[in-house]
Structure 1
Amino acid sequence: MKVNIKRVAEEAGVSTATVSRVINGSDRVKEETRKKVLRVIKKLGYKPMPALRKIADLNYTIGVLVPNLVGDHYNEMVMAIEDYASKNGFELIVSIPKMLPESERYVLDQFFKRKIDGVILCELYTGVTYLEPFLKSGVPIVALDYNIEDITCDSVNVNNKQGAFIAMNHLYENGHRKILFIRGPHLSPAALEREKGVLKFLKKHDDVEVFYSEFEGYEPEIGYESVIAHLEKYGKNFTAIFTINDWTATGALSALYEKGLKVPEDISLVGFDDAPYVKYIVPPLTTIKQPRWEMGQTAAQLLIERIQNKGSNIPKNVILQPQLIVRKSVKKIG
């Protein structure tokens, strides 16, 4: 059934004139009636003409919480969310708490006070207890690139565990049996899943030895410092490096060249993410591609469907598959 002003009036139990007055911001409507009509408008997903949607109460707003916008990973997902949201008449508020729990708590509090219609979370370090006000008030939440085990909500993730397994297997197929793994932050669910992929691979291949980096993180300096520290302590006892993401791979690449080692002639290198720039570095980086645009669009679609009360009430867990992108940073040996 088409949603129009008549259907809104019937659902709210008022006249079409009353609905019209609410839309136009008239003060000739009781506050209780106004709130009831606005609830019905949001419930049915009714969109008055653009000129009439200047009323703040009729603006649908999505809150997006991301750890940072450094690099390209979250940038692309946020752009995908904004693209889908704007095409469906939704506005976006993006907050960047920089992986600081106190900042996350403040952002979530502000989201709730501003009566955000829905929230997309990309990792949360403060703990899921701070999501309870949203859950109790019926505000839908979608976890993006973040697996929340303690609450039931829609989620969109890439199969990080399988991606890491694929990366390790590619090195194995090219003869590499001694591999340095540069780890991600232990508080990051995505990093932990990728490390599980490495462990899954090792269970199937007992002829492979993996050395774990002394440092952990997603930044280039982590890749650089990890390689320097390992070479100075143990020498070149590995033939390949698998990094937690492409950004750390650039740091590892710099450290190798500083130590007189070339990629892939001396050391092979595999990253994770398929950042836009890695096809242009020397050598072009072999990596695991994450479908970031598809992840962002899917998260926005799920959230908007929840806000508009469309589809099943059963939470959806969407798992997108990673893809190996072979370039020129891996050499076949042995």
Structure 2
Amino acid sequence: MASTEKDKGNRRVTIREVAEDAGVSVAAVSKVLRDAYGVSDTLRAKVRQSMDALGYRPLAAARGMRGQTYTIGLVLPDIRNPFFSDIMTGVNNALERTQYRALIGISQSSATGEMAIVEAMIDRQMDGIILIGATEDRANLDAIAARKPLVAVGHHEPDITTFDTVNNNDQQGGQLVVRQMVAAGYKRIAMIGLKSTTSTILAEREIGYRRGMIEAGLGSAINIVQESQTLRDVQITARRMLQAPNRPDAIFCWTDFIALEVISVATELGLRIPEDVGIAGYDNTVYCDFAQNGLSSIDQSGELLGLQATRLLIERIQGRSQAEHFVVPPRLVIRRSTSPG
């Protein structure tokens, strides 16, 4: 029976039709789809042009049965933190000229939720996984890496051999913030961290803060307050700190997302920034540069972290087994929030 126009619109274009349109063999199209070695740029361009013209889309399930789906899993702890969008931009830019596509899962900073997402990604035969700000412990990360190529963004363990890591030098970043605050005249510098038992990022930033304070002769004034990332909890904590009899004259926040809320609370209490209290964040997200914020922050190059994580993951998928650990040096961007007078 002849196909109707509606039938043609609903059915999937086949690899044979792509080959006929491009004037090449089915085997040639298959090589392009597999990114096989030895495919010329001319052949690749010709096949891609036919695929675009015909609307051809490889069937992920069928590709999975052949061993590769060309999808990677990207697991984020939160979608509210604008820094993660910088990482996602880097991931997307790295994938732009490849066949790979990223599918995203949000764990809500829950170890249980994170593992459930990872299991779902493995069940769906994704080729590899990028974990950002992982809440898993070393044993679980090793177990994941034994099943799928894995890159962890924001996990400090340089002796790892089973998976790759991409990090900022978080310890150095914490020191840079304290040094600048001390140079600006602040003495009672506190830090707001995150309630977490597994985050090596937080541990490194806290070490950097402590070292910076001791280096400046302010070891007795070390004050680290750990709080959840829930805005209401951050507001309550910031208000309690800023209304204390011997309140901090500066606060280093583990991320811009928290620092911006601290600015809001300080402003609501009638405190002048930076004269009454200096505030600094971490990540140098786009909101730091807004005039009403003027937030000093550590730039850890989120887009570069995403690019490098994707590069390492694809190399892992393609067979590299030796672990690599990429570290980005931090850069402090000083703005009005820590520059009194």
Asked whether the equivalents of residues 194 and 228 of structure 2 are also in contact (C-alpha less than 8 Å), the reply is: yes
Q: 1:185 to 1:220 in 2, by over 3 A?
A: same
Residues 42-57 of structure 1 correspond to what in structure 2 (within 5 A)?
49-50=47-48, 51=51, 54-56=58-60, 57=63
- Report the alpha carbon displacement of residue 88 of structure 1 after superposing the two structures with TM: 1.4
Q: Within 1, Cα distance between the matches of 2:139 and 2:58?
A: 34
Counterpart of 1:104 in structure 2 is 114
Asked whether the equivalents of residues 99 and 125 of structure 1 are also in contact (C-alpha less than 8 Å), the reply is: yes
Q: Within 1, Cα distance between the matches of 2:209 and 2:245?
A: 22
**Structure 1 vs Structure 2 CA RMSD:** 3.1
Counterpart of 1:166 in structure 2 is 176
Q: 1:117 to 1:181 in 2, by over 3 A?
A: same
Counterpart of 1:29 in structure 2 is none
Asked whether the equivalents of residues 260 and 293 of structure 2 are also in contact (C-alpha less than 8 Å), the reply is: no
Q: Secondary structure at the match of 2:96?
A: helix
Q: Secondary structure at the match of 1:68?
A: coil
Residues 108-257 of structure 1 correspond to what in structure 2 (within 5 A)?
108-131=118-141, 134-137=144-147, 139-148=148-157, 152-187=162-197, 188-207=199-218, 209-212=220-223, 214-232=225-243, 234-257=244-267
- Report the alpha carbon displacement of residue 64 of structure 1 after superposing the two structures with TM: 1.1
TM-score (norm 2): 0.77
Asked whether the equivalents of residues 295 and 335 of structure 2 are also in contact (C-alpha less than 8 Å), the reply is: yes
> What do the CA deviations read for 1:53-80 (whole angstroms, capped 9, x no partner)?
6143164111111111112111221222
Asked whether the equivalents of residues 112 and 134 of structure 1 are also in contact (C-alpha less than 8 Å), the reply is: no
The share of aligned pairs that are identical, in percent, is 23
Counterpart of 2:297 in structure 1 is 287
Q: 1:164 to 1:221 in 2, by over 3 A?
A: farther
Amino acid at match of 1:240: A
Amino acid at match of 1:306: R
Q: 1:210 to 1:219 in 2, by over 3 A?
A: farther
- Report the alpha carbon displacement of residue 257 of structure 1 after superposing the two structures with TM: 2.2
Q: Within 2, Cα distance between the matches of 1:21 and 1:284?
A: 55
Q: 1:260 to 1:21 in 2, by over 3 A?
A: closer
Q: 1:305 aligns with which of 296, 311, 315?
A: 315
Structure 1, unaligned runs of 5 or more: 1-16, 24-36
- Report the alpha carbon displacement of residue 150 of structure 1 after superposing the two structures with TM: 5.7
- Report the alpha carbon displacement of residue 208 of structure 1 after superposing the two structures with TM: 5.3
Q: 1:267 aligns with which of 277, 290, 312?
A: 277
Q: 1:186 to 1:212 in 2, by over 3 A?
A: farther
- Report the alpha carbon displacement of residue 21 of structure 1 after superposing the two structures with TM: 10
Asked whether the equivalents of residues 122 and 145 of structure 1 are also in contact (C-alpha less than 8 Å), the reply is: yes
Amino acid at match of 1:320: V
- Report the alpha carbon displacement of residue 120 of structure 1 after superposing the two structures with TM: 0.8
Counterpart of 1:31 in structure 2 is none
Number of residue-to-residue matches in the alignment: 299
Q: Within 2, Cα distance between the matches of 1:102 and 1:275?
A: 28
